[in-house]
Amino acid sequence: MKQPFRLKMSVAATAIGLCVIGGTSAIAQNRGAPVAQPVIPAVEWDKRRLDQLDRNVRRLERALTQRNAAGQPVIVEPDPEVIALQGQVSLMERRLADLEATFRRVNAENERMTFDLDEATRNNADLVRRVDALEDRIKTLQEEAELNAPITANSPTGDAAGDLQAAMRLSGQDTRRGMRALETVTVTWPDTPQAKEAYSRLGDIHVAGRDNASAVSAYAQALTGWPRTPWAAETVLKLAEALRATDRQTQACGALNEFTRRYAEAATAQQKTRATQLRTRAECS
């Protein structure tokens, strides 16, 4: 019994190449013999060569048909190299799948780490805001404690005039600290012209803060003994205005009388006009 002719896939390709070169069927000349695979040189596939390849393939098909008709069927077997190549491809596909799974896992880890980092950043920003708020509160409490501490004698410059000038400059920058500095002058240098002027400056600050009652007290302290200083006449008029603002018309008129008796002669025309206007408003007799 004749064995069927087994043709490998790579041999079939070789046979096509042999048909292109020799023009005859290699199958008819080599029954059962192994067929060597020649090295096929690189070919430029133009229309002529494609037509020739098509003719050779048709010849091979006719040869296969004739063998089948003669009872010698051709069985096409896969080439071992092809099987090995397929195995390598399958292995590469598995490795590729493993890599894809690894990439997905790494991407998931990266997303989780990114989320954790964003959350940590938000928490850190919240902590920074809370710390800043606490620092502001501590600073405010420290300032309040400093500003509300008892006034004690202290001379930054060692001189009454120097302390007064420093306190006046500070009051132009920070009202509350300036007030404490002026009050410190009155405590450190009592019964001095600088202390009296410091009281007058304190009265001005109270008037600016709409605290006319405190202004009356400060101006009265400044005018103790009716000092003969350049600022005294102006301070008397300010005292009269603060008294009238606190509904003490009689005392306001008394302050204006003192202005006329003690300071009107050296007062400016503007100060005299203000005194007359205040008398009218206070309805002084």
Q: 3-state SS of the chain? A: CCCCEEEEHHHHHHHHHHHHHHCCCHHHHCCCCCCCCCCCCCCCCCHHHHHHHHHHHHHHHHHHHHHHHCCCCEEEECCHHHHHHHHHHHHHHHHHHHHHHHHHHHHHHHHHHHHHHHHHHHHHHHHHHHHHHHHHHHHHHHHHHHHCCCCCCCCCCCCHHHHHHHHHHHHHHCHHHHHHHHHHHHHHCCCCHHHHHHHHHHHHHHHHCCCHHHHHHHHHHHCCCCCCCCCHHHHHHHHHHHHHHCCCHHHHHHHHHHHHHHHHHHCCHHHHHHHHHHHHHHCCC
The residue that leads in pLDDT, 229 or 80, is 229
Taking the C-alpha atoms of residue 201 and residue 234, their distance in angstroms, rounded to an integer, is: 12
Residue 16 has pLDDT above 80, yes or no: no
Residue 20 has pLDDT above 80, yes or no: no
Which pLDDT score is estimated for 19? 41
Taking the C-alpha atoms of residue 177 and residue 181, their distance in angstroms, rounded to an integer, is: 6
- Token couple for 24: 């005859």
Among the listed ranges 26-40, 117-131, 138-152, 219-233, which one has the minimum average pLDDT value? 26-40
| Average pLDDT taken over every residue of the chain | 82
Cα 202 to its chain centre, rounded Å, is 45
Nearest-CA neighbor of 256 among 235, 227, 225?
Answer: 235
Q: What number is the average pLDDT over the span 235-254? A: 95
Contact 6, 79 (CB under 8 A): no
Which pLDDT score is estimated for 39? 53
The residue that leads in pLDDT, 234 or 73, is 234
Q: Which residues of 171-207 are buried (b: 16+ CB within 10 A; e: fewer)?
A: beeeeeebbbbbbbbbebbeeeebbbbbbbbbbbbbb
Strand-pair category, 74-77 with 5-8: parallel
Taking the C-alpha atoms of residue 49 and residue 55, their distance in angstroms, rounded to an integer, is: 10
**Percent of the chain at pLDDT exceeding 70:** 81
pTM of the model: 0.55
